[in-house]
Amino acid sequence: MTDRRSLFVGGAAAAAAGAALFTPGQAAARPLEDVLRANELRVGVNPTLPPRALFNDRNQIDGFEPEVAAAIARKLGVPLVLQAVGSPDRIPMVASGRIDFVMGAMSRTSERAKVIDYTVPVHSENYGILAVAGRGHTTIESLNKPEITLAQVRGTTAIPYIAHAIPNAQVLLLDNYPDRNRAIAQGRAQASFDGVDSVRFSLRPFRQVQWEVTGIAEYGVTYSGLGVAKNNHSLRNWLNIALYELHVDGTIERAWEKWFDGPMITKVPHNAFF
């Protein structure tokens, strides 16, 4: 009897936990008017992706994306609240209204756009090969061999492309870019095929290694926008106008040059009609 009772209690607790997990309940993103009424813009950034976002010397979130977010908040006329987000929680954070939009290298893909709405692009992402210099790892063909291990960061958009275009290479999925760079420097992997925009920043701690970065045009360019909750049209429309203005007046390009040590490799073709 005791066993049955404990089984029932355990089952009920599991069911309650499951219900809480599977039913987001009243969670809802805030439309523009609610953001204005609350007098606070909440933005999610990922501080493990420097220089897009990082923790500065005072342990505050800083970087390219916080700077753009601050410019957006100024245009809206409300204070900015930055929220650190990670890969698994960023979409639930937007959908539940804990943040109004998410940044953090939100590359636009048709698969991802089924779940989240994107604004117009904030910046481009350009791809290439990172390797130790002089080893000949400068083309996709040179990487497509079983003896080649590519060190990649888990969750990046280059991974499906590698599975398709570099199928013979081994792939080592690591947690962040410093670990990726360390793995190549230590010989655990030979190269990486990924975005090369932030490579100058992330290679700073590895000055003893002679690096070689080769741009690969055939992959094309991806664009990152702001991730807004599905169907939050009022906020997304306003953000599109604000981003257009920030592109035109050069705010975004200036912030990019400041944090990425150079101009955006592919300029974002901004347009007044969207």
Partner 1 sequence: MSYTLIYSQVTGHIPYLLAGAWLTLQLACISFFIGWAIGLVNASLLVYGPRPARLAVRAYVTFFINTPLLVQIFFIFFVLPDMGILLSPYAAVAIGMSLNAGAYLTEIQRAGFGSLRRAEMDAAAAMGFSLVQTIWYVVLPHIAKALYPPLANQFIIQVMTTSIAAIFAVEELTGRAYNVNSLTFRALEVFSITAVIYVLLTIACSLALALLGRWLFRVNAKVF
Residue 39 structure tokens: 């007098």
Give min distance, CB of 182 to partner 1, in A.
6
- Name the residue nearer to partner 1 (CB basis): 15 or 248: 15
Residue closer to partner 1 (CB basis): 115 or 133: 115
The angle formed by the CA atoms of residues 194, 157 and 94, to the nearest 5 degrees, is: 130
Neighbours of 174 (CB within 10 A): 18
**Interface residues toward partner 1, by CB under 8 A:** 3, 6-7, 10, 14, 21-22, 24, 26-29, 31, 87-92, 95-96, 111-112, 114-116, 154-156, 159-160, 172-175, 179, 182-183, 186-188, 229-232
Peptide bond into 167 cis (omega under 30): no
3-class SS of residue 14: helix
Residue 114: how many CB atoms within 10 A of its CB?
8
* Nearest-approach distance from CB 273 to partner 1, in angstroms: 25
- How far apart CA 106 and CA 203 sit, in angstroms, is 22
For the bound state, the minimum distance from the C-beta of residue 26 to partner 1, rounded and expressed in Å, comes to 7
| Minimum gap (Å) between residue 160 Cβ and partner 1 | 7
Q: How far is the CB of 191 from partner 1 (least distance, A)?
A: 15
Buried b (16+ CB within 10 A) or exposed e, 38-58: eeebbbbbbbbbbbbbbeeee
Residue with smaller CB distance to partner 1, 10 or 215: 10
**Nearer residue to partner 1 within complex by CB, 151 or 199:** 151
Paired tokens of 190: 């030979």
Cβ nearer to partner 1, comparing 138 with 232: 232
Tokens 């055939």 — which residue?
A: 218
Q: How far apart are CA 241 and CA 48, in angstroms?
A: 29
Strand partners, 191: 131, 150
Least distance from C-beta 82 to partner 1, angstroms?
20
Q: How far apart (Å, rounded) are the C-alpha atoms in residues 228 and 116?
A: 6
Q: Which is nearer to partner 1, 167 or 250 (CB)?
A: 167
Nearer to partner 1 by C-beta: 189 or 268?
A: 189
CB of 184 to partner 1, least distance (A): 11
